[in-house]
Each structure stands twice: as C-alpha cells, then as structure tokens.
C-alpha cells in the first residue's frame, strides 16, 4: 500500500494531531506487548493442564484398590497411561491440521476438554461398582488426552510462531511450565485429597483450567489473526518433513531420550528399593530433584541454543545423559564402580541436565532444517514440528517403559540399563557423523527435494 506524506511535516498541521499520534503510539505498543501477555497466559494454562494430568498419581491407586477390593496395579497403569495413548493420536491430527482448523479453536476446546474431564473425574469417587469406576476412568482420561493434545500441540506451535527469533527460549519456557506441572501435580493432588477427599482435587484444578478460558479468549484472537497473514503459500506435510534425514535423526533422538526416561520412571524405583532399601519418600525425592533440576536449567538451555547451533547442544546433552547412566546403574561393564547412594544423586543430576539439553534443541533444529530447504517458517510448520515431537515423546515414554520392563524382568535392571546405554551411544555416533558431514557440506546428507 502506498504511504501518504505525514501531516506532521506540514506547516499548517491541525491542533490535536499530537494527541492522535500519542494514542497511535500507545496502540502500537499495546500490540507489541500482546504476544508477551499471550505467552504468560499460555504458560500458566499449560502448568494447570499438566497439574491436572499428574494429579491422580498421589491418591488414585489407593482408591482404585479400595474399589476393587484387591490389587489393581495393571488397571491403574492403564488409567494413568491411557492419556498418553490418546495424546499420541491427537498430536498427529492436530499437528497436521492446526492451521486449517484454527489455533484459537484448538486451544480453547483443548482447555475445555481437560478442565471439564478433570472436574467430571472427581465425581467417580461416588461410584461403588468397580467395573463402572474403571471403565469411566479410562474413558474420561482418553478424552482428556485428546484435549491435552489439542492444547499442548497448538500452544507450543503458537509460542514458536510468536517468537521466531527465539524459538529455543520459547520452547524452553513451555518445558518449564510442563516441568512445574509434573512436579506440583502429585503434591497438590495429595494435599487437596487430605483436606476434602477424592472430589476436591479435581474440582479445584479442573475449575482453574476452565477459569483461564476467558483469558485465552481475550489474548488469542489478535495474535491468531496477525500470524495467519504471515503464512506461506507453499504448505509442507508431516510426511515430507519426516522424510528429511536430519529430522529423522532428531526424532529418533527424541524418542530415545524419552524411552530411557520412561524406563527409569518405571524400573528405577524398584532398583533403589532392592539395592539400598530406600523408603518411598526417599525415592520420590530423588525424582523430585530430577524434575527441579530440569525446570531450573531449562530457560538457560534455551538461551544457549538460541546463541549457538542446536545440534551441538543436543550432542552435549546425550553425552551428559550417558555419563549419568554410567553412574546410576552403574553400567554393568564398568566394574570399577559399585552401587553407591551418592552416585545416584550425581548420576540423576547429570541425567536430568542431559535430558534437558537433548530435548530443548529439537524443535529449533527441525525448523532450521525445513527452512534451509526452502520452506518458510510459520504457524503451519511449527504445528507440524510440535505434533511430530509430541508423537515421538509419547512413543518413547510408552516404548521405554514396556521394553525396559521386559528386559528387567528377563535379566535385571543393570543389564537393561546397559542395553539402553549402548543404544544411546550408537545414536550419539550417528548424530556426530551427520553433524560433521553437514558442517563439511557433504552431499551424502542432502536428500532429494520433497517439495512439490
């Protein structure tokens, strides 16, 4: 559009124009601040969503066993883990269609499903029949998983879109909110359960999620309309993105680190109990410390990734995670070390730092890979990246827990850890080789262009 000459440069400028210009400046500043306001509301909503997800861990198993009248470990595992199964499917669908459906609709509907399902879940305590209790628990958690996929995938993509020059920092802030929800979910649930029984935790936390919906409605419309006009004409599909060699490598790394984490969460407590006879509180504290370390360093890692090559930070993270695994077990081949309590603290600290440094660079690395091949960044690309990584997060968590459990039952925790350690080493060598080849501009890593 052609710009007209400003009347401020004219000698016969009318009185009152200065006030008009000041009002325009205030409006411009308000529009500039809107993404930051949206980010704050999104991060607070993300925290509350993940509190709702991890809320039942503190008291649901005991209530389920009371309803059944016997041990209900398998059923509890299915209920707690079912949200990951529906989130796996939901993340793929949302990632592919986020720009077509609309970010605002997906975020609001996702928050509504999570908050509503959480409130409804609280009323299951009034059901005495075990089969009805278990079946409705599964159904509600599955629906909540779809809501969480819609909310989490879309808000992450929107955060990356709002701050395109600081994608790693934006991603790290999302991880910060997720980590805080993971840490606070069970303690908040346990405290509210002690105060008001089974219903109160779900009503309070689910109600808070629902109360944030008006705030989301307020901050999202202008943000969404602004970024829709920046969308490129050429759209990239998830299949095209997943065919790029560096993206395949990053996704496999993402899958592996979450598989190892799933293995550790499911089997490490048994190892600590059998080896050191630690109490449940002691074991819980070491996992709490792991989450705290992850949350504390996440923003710093995001700033580091924005200032350097994401792949290099990811490689360093895999190295630190491997060192942590050597100390935790320790790896059975390193007979110079014997299991010691202090090694668990040091090993889990290194493991947590390495996990953070391996996870946060993933999205910026994939975005950089796509843009270097001629695709423009935007909400559509960021939605694909967020959905793709969510898929491998869920697959890794489920696969690691199942495969690690089978290995541990067949052999022992140390040997199972050794298997994961060598898989990690193999992935690290592949990543280093591909990265060196890219730095040398080797033709071997350049796949045929998949752009139509």
User: Mind listing the pLDDT tens digit for each residue in 114-146?
Assistant: 999 999 998 988 888 888 888 898 899 899 989
CA angle 231, 236, 239 (to 5 degrees): 155
- The reported pTM is 0.78
Spatial separation of the C-alpha atoms in residues 289 and 309, rounded to whole Å: 29
User: How far is residue 218's CA from residue 41's CA, in Å, rounded to a whole number?
Assistant: 10
Q: What whole-number distance in Å separates Cα of residue 335 and Cα of residue 199?
A: 51
CB 77 within 8 Å of CB 114: no
Rounded (5°) CA angle 151-62-206: 25
Sign of CA dihedral 366, 371, 372, 375: positive
Integer Cα distance of 337 and 417 in angstroms = 15
CA dist 434 → 306, 441, 449 (Å): 21, 10, 18
pLDDT tens over the chain, length 452 residues: 444 444 433 444 455 555 555 555 555 566 667 778 888 889 999 999 998 888 887 777 778 778 777 666 667 767 777 787 888 888 888 877 777 788 888 899 999 999 999 999 989 888 888 888 888 988 998 999 899 889 988 888 888 888 888 888 888 898 889 888 888 887 888 888 888 888 899 999 999 999 999 988 888 755 545 555 454 545 677 788 888 888 888 999 989 999 898 888 878 887 888 888 887 778 878 888 888 899 899 999 999 998 888 889 999 999 999 999 888 875 655 555 677 888 889 999 999 999 999 999 988 988 888 888 777 777 778 888 888 888 888 888 878 877 888 888 888 888 888 899 999 999 999 999 888 887 776 444 444 554 44
Question: What distance in Å separates the CA atoms of residue 269 and residue 371, rounded to the nearest whole number?
Answer: 43
**318 vs 426: CA distance, rounded Å:** 11
């Amino acid at each position: 559009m052609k710009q007209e000459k400003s009347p401020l440069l004219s000698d016969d400028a009318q009185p009152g124009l200065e006030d008009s210009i000041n009002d325009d400046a205030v409006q411009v500043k308000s529009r500039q601040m809107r993404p930051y306001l949206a980010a704050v509301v999104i991060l607070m909503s993300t925290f509350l969503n993940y509190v709702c997800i991890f809320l039942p861990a503190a008291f649901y198993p005991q209530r389920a066993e009371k309803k059944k009248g016997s041990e209900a470990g398998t059923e509890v595992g299915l209920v707690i883990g079912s949200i990951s199964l529906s989130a796996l499917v939901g993340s793929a669908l949302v990632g592919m269609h986020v720009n077509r459906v609309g970010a605002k609709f997906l975020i609001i509907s996702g928050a509504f499903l999570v908050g509503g399902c959480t409130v409804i879940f609280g009323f299951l305590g009034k059901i005495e029949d075990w089969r009805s209790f278990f079946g409705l628990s599964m159904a509600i958690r599955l629906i909540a998983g779809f809501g969480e996929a819609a909310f989490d995938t879309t808000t992450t993509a929107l955060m990356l879109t709002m701050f395109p020059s600081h994608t790693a920092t934006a991603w790290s802030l999302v991880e910060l909110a997720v980590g805080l929800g993971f840490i606070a979910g069970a303690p908040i649930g346990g405290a509210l359960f002690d105060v008001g029984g089974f219903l109160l935790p779900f009503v309070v936390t689910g109600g808070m999620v629902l109360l944030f919906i008006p705030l989301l409605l307020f901050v999202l419309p202008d943000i969404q309309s602004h970024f829709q006009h920046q969308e490129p004409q050429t759209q990239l599909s998830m299949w095209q993105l997943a065919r790029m060699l560096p993206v395949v490598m990053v996704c496999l790394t993402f899958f592996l680190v979450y598989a190892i984490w799933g293995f550790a969460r499911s089997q490490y407590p048994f190892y600590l109990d059998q080896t050191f006879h630690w109490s449940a509180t002691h074991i819980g504290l070491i996992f709490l410390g792991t989450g705290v370390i992850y949350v504390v360093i996440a923003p710093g890692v995001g700033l580091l990734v924005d200032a350097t090559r994401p792949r290099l930070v990811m490689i360093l993270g895999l190295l630190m995670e491997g060192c942590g695994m050597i100390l935790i077990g320790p790896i059975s081949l390193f007979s110079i070390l014997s299991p010691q309590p202090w090694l668990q603290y040091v090993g889990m600290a290194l493991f947590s730092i390495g996990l953070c440094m391996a996870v946060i660079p993933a999205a910026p690395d994939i975005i950089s890979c796509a843009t270097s091949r001629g695709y423009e960044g935007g909400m559509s690309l960021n939605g694909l990246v967020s959905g793709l990584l969510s898929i491998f997060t869920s697959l890794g968590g489920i696969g690691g827990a199942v495969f690690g459990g089978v290995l541990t039952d067949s052999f022992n925790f140390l040997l199972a850890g050794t298997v994961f350690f060598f898989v990690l080493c193999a992935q690290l060598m592949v990543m280093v080789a591909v990265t060196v080849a890219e730095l040398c501009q080797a033709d071997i890593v350049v796949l045929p262009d998949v752009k139509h």
